[in-house]
Chain A
Amino acid sequence: MNKSEGFVPAERGEHALPCLSGRGVTRVFGTGAKATVAVDHVDFDFHEGEFVSIVGESGSGKTTLSKMLLGLLSVTEGEISFQGKPRDISTRRRRREYWQGIQAIFQDPYSSFNTFHKIDAVLLDCIAMRGGRHLPMEKKREMMAEACGFVNLKFEELTNKYPFELSGGQMQRLMIARIFLLRPRILLADEPTSMIDACSRSTILDMLLNLRNETGMTIIFITHDIGLAYYTSDSVYIMEHGRFVESGSAHDVILHPKAEYTRRLISDVPKIYEPWDLSTV
Chain B
Amino acid sequence: MGKTILEVRDLCTKYITRSHEDVYAVDHVSLSLEEGKSLGIAGESGCGKSTLALSLMGYYFPPLHYSSGEIIIDGRSITGMDPDTVRKTILGTEIAYIPQAAMNALNPTQRVIRFVEDVVRAHRPGTGKKEIYDMACARFAELGLPPEVLEKHSVELSGGMKQRTVIAISTILSPKVLIADEPSSALDVTSQKMVIKMLRSLMEKGYIKGMIFITHELPLLYNVTDDIMVMYAGQIVERNSARGMVFSPLHPYSKGLMGSIIVPEEGVREQKLTSIPGTPPNLKHPPRGCRFAERCAYVVPSCRHNEIPMLELEGGHTYRCGHSAQHLREMYQDEQK
Chain A residues engaging chain B, CB cutoff 8 angstroms: 1, 3, 57-58, 152, 167-169, 196-203, 205-206, 224-231, 250-251, 254-255, 264-266, 268-274, 276, 278, 280-281
Contact = CB atoms under 8 A, between A and B. Distances in A.
12 contacts: A198-B261, A199-B276, A203-B275, A230-B268, A254-B264, A268-B190, A268-B192, A270-B219, A270-B223, A270-B263, A273-B263, A281-B194
A169 B45 contact: yes
A252 B192 CA distance: 25
B297 interface: no
Interface string B157-174: 011000000000000000
Contact of B260 (A199, A225, A268): A199
Contacts of B276: 199
Q: Which of B44, B224, B262 has the most CB of A within 10 A?
A: B262
Q: Is the interface of B mostly helix, strand, loop or mixed?
A: loop
A1 B272 contact: yes
B189 interface: yes
A272 B246 contact: yes
Given A198-B260, A227-B262, A268 B275 contact: no
Given A199-B276, A228-B262, A268-B189, A58 B45 contact: no
A251 B44 CA distance: 30
A58 B159 contact: yes
Contact of A272 (B192, B222, B224, B273): B222
A256 to B, nearest CB: 10
For the complex of A and B, list the 3 residue pairs with the smallest distance between their C-beta atoms, beginning with the closest.
Answer: A202-B273, A202-B260, A224-B188
Interface string B49-72: 000000000000000000000000
Interface in B217-244: 217-220, 222-224
A11 B322 CA distance: 52
Contacts, number: 120
Contacts of B223: 270-271, 276
Nearest to A278: B197
A278 B44 contact: no
Interface string B191-206: 1111011001000000
A202 B246 CA distance: 17
A152 B277 CA distance: 9
A271 B268 CA distance: 11
Contact of A58 (B191, B197, B224, B262): B191
Contacts of B193: 268, 278, 280-281
Contacts of B217: 198, 270
Contact of B45 (A197, A276, A281): A197
A1 B275 CA distance: 12
Contacts of B136: none
A206 B189 contact: no
Given A206-B273, A268-B193, A201 B265 contact: no
B324 interface: no
B281 interface: no
Contacts of B159: 58
Nearest to A226: B264
A255 B268 CA distance: 11
Contact of A255 (B194, B222, B266, B279): B266
Nearest to A230: B264
Nearest to A250: B269
